[in-house]
Amino acid sequence: MPNEGSFDAAERRSDEIKQDLPLHPENYVMLSGDRPTGRLHLGHYFGTLAERVRMQDMGIRTNILIADYQVITDRDTTDNISDNVFNMVVDYLSIGIDPKRTMIYAHSAVPAENQLMLPFLSLVTEAELQRNPTVKAEMEASGHALTGLLLTYPVHQACDILFCKGNIVPCGRDQLPHIELTRTIARRFNERYGKVFPDVWGVLTSSQMLPGLDGRKMSKSYGNAISLSMTPDETAKRIKKSKTDSDRHISYDPEGRPGVSALLTTAAVCTGRDPIDIADEIGDGGSGALKSYVTDCVNDFLEPIRTKRETYLADPSYVHDVLAEGNARANEIAEGTLDEVRHAMGMDY
Ligand code: TRP
């Protein structure tokens, strides 16, 4: 784990940047991304997606990466990948990402970006990679042996961020070691070969992460997630099946009552209300009343997103064009950066 000192420093820097963003949006290039392993869900939305839209709307240069190569860091299949990528673009567009202002691209489509991996790998040691806590956690969760790609994916993530000279990455605490490694790689490159890359900082998203319906991390694989693409009916069923407890009096107690509290938090983030007020209002209504309230809140919240999803699903060629144009722009940018890198390294022949 990073020591508290370094987390504090990262948090302070993140707060400074948050204050400066609206004042000097022109100084920032944001890069953020997701693995196309399934559908985006409410945890993603309240974790980083909403923040990306806010940054886009502030006039910051925003870039969104579909991290398709990262799908195979800890699994041995690319099943459904093209459907997942397509739906991811649909989700981005439906929550308010505007492809005129935000570049959406897939890293497998940008060879020059991937080529940065070679010089970057020379700038880190095996020991630095081995002690990354997120890599360790992902390896344990996968039940697989540590693959070369899983060990080195934080370096690949540095390529994702640095090819477009990104300097801010909205992220949760778990991504901080990756951002720190990216910053280290950029600095070492600049020291060795001359300045090409910016300093990169994580902008921490609200610490109150939306849990899954059972109180654990929201994840498709736990079956505790509400995807942005679910119908009102599917949403109602999933909430109805979620596990609560037999105490009819509803109270907010994340430790003691994870299921009930996760439901309260879900309703709270969808409405902007306080979970304790919601609990008081439901009082002795029991989990039936709680679930029906949460279902209404989630369905009201998702309604405009669902309507937009329908529009984009009816026009798949538009969705494909958005990605193709993003990929084309990403290639131009990556080739420019790779030229600078070769030049800095004296490799112009
Ligand atoms: N690793 C991120 C995830 O699993 C996705 C990702 C890949 C990313 N490259 C990135 C996020 C660069 C931020 C910046 O969700």
Give the model confidence (pLDDT) of 87-114 as tens digits.
999 999 999 999 999 999 999 999 999 9
How far is it, in rounded angstroms, from Cα 144 to Cα 282?
A: 45
Nearest CA to ligand 1 atom 13: 32
Ligand 1 neighbourhood includes 115 CB (under 6 angstroms): no
CA–CA–CA angle 262, 11, 3 (5° rounding): 95
Least-confidence region, from 23-27, 132-136, 207-211, 326-330: 207-211
Q: Is residue 225 part of a domain?
A: no
Q: Is residue 215 part of a domain?
A: no
Same domain assignment for residues 99 and 237: no
Same domain assignment for residues 74 and 37: yes
How far is it, in rounded angstroms, from Cα 14 to Cα 175?
A: 13
**What's residue 75's pLDDT?**
87
**Domain of residue 241, CATH code:** 1.10.240.10
**pLDDT tens sequence across 239-251:** 999 999 999 999 9
Up-side HSE of residue 255: CA atoms within 13 Å toward CB?
A: 0
Same domain assignment for residues 18 and 140: yes
Q: Is residue 276 part of a domain?
A: yes
Same domain assignment for residues 92 and 122: yes
**What's residue 156's pLDDT?**
98
Ligand 1 centroid from CA 283, angstroms: 41
How far is it, in rounded angstroms, from Cα 329 to Cα 202?
A: 24
Q: Is residue 266 part of a domain?
A: yes
Ligand 1 centroid from CA 275, angstroms: 30
Ligand 1 neighbourhood includes 51 CB (under 6 angstroms): no
Q: Is residue 220 part of a domain?
A: no
Q: Nearest-CA neighbor of 262 among 316, 302, 222, 204?
A: 222
Neighbours of 230 (CB within 10 A): 20
Same domain assignment for residues 53 and 67: yes
Same domain assignment for residues 35 and 177: yes
Ligand 1 centroid from CA 236, angstroms: 31
**Domain of residue 330, CATH code:** 3.40.50.620
Same domain assignment for residues 40 and 170: yes
How far is it, in rounded angstroms, from Cα 206 to Cα 54?
A: 13
Whole-prediction pTM:
0.94
pLDDT at 193 over 90: yes
Rounded to the nearest 5 percent, the helix, strand and coil shares of the chain are 60, 10, 30
What is the pLDDT averaged over residues 251-277? 96
State the chain's mean pLDDT as an integer.
94
Same domain assignment for residues 28 and 112: yes
Same domain assignment for residues 122 and 78: yes
Q: Is residue 335 part of a domain?
A: yes
Q: Is residue 216 part of a domain?
A: no
Ligand 1 centroid from CA 157, angstroms: 6
Ligand 1 neighbourhood includes 52 CB (under 6 angstroms): no
How far is it, in rounded angstroms, from Cα 234 to Cα 204?
A: 32
Letter for the amino acid at 198? P
**What's residue 207's pLDDT?**
55
Ligand 1 neighbourhood includes 157 CB (under 6 angstroms): yes
**What's residue 92's pLDDT?**
98
- Paired tokens of 257: 């009552």
Boundaries of domain holding 301? 232-313
pLDDT at 4 over 50: no
How far is it, in rounded angstroms, from Cα 231 to Cα 226?
A: 10
Nearest CA to ligand 1 atom 2: 34
pLDDT at 1 over 50: no
Nearest CA to ligand 1 atom 6: 33
Same domain assignment for residues 175 and 278: no
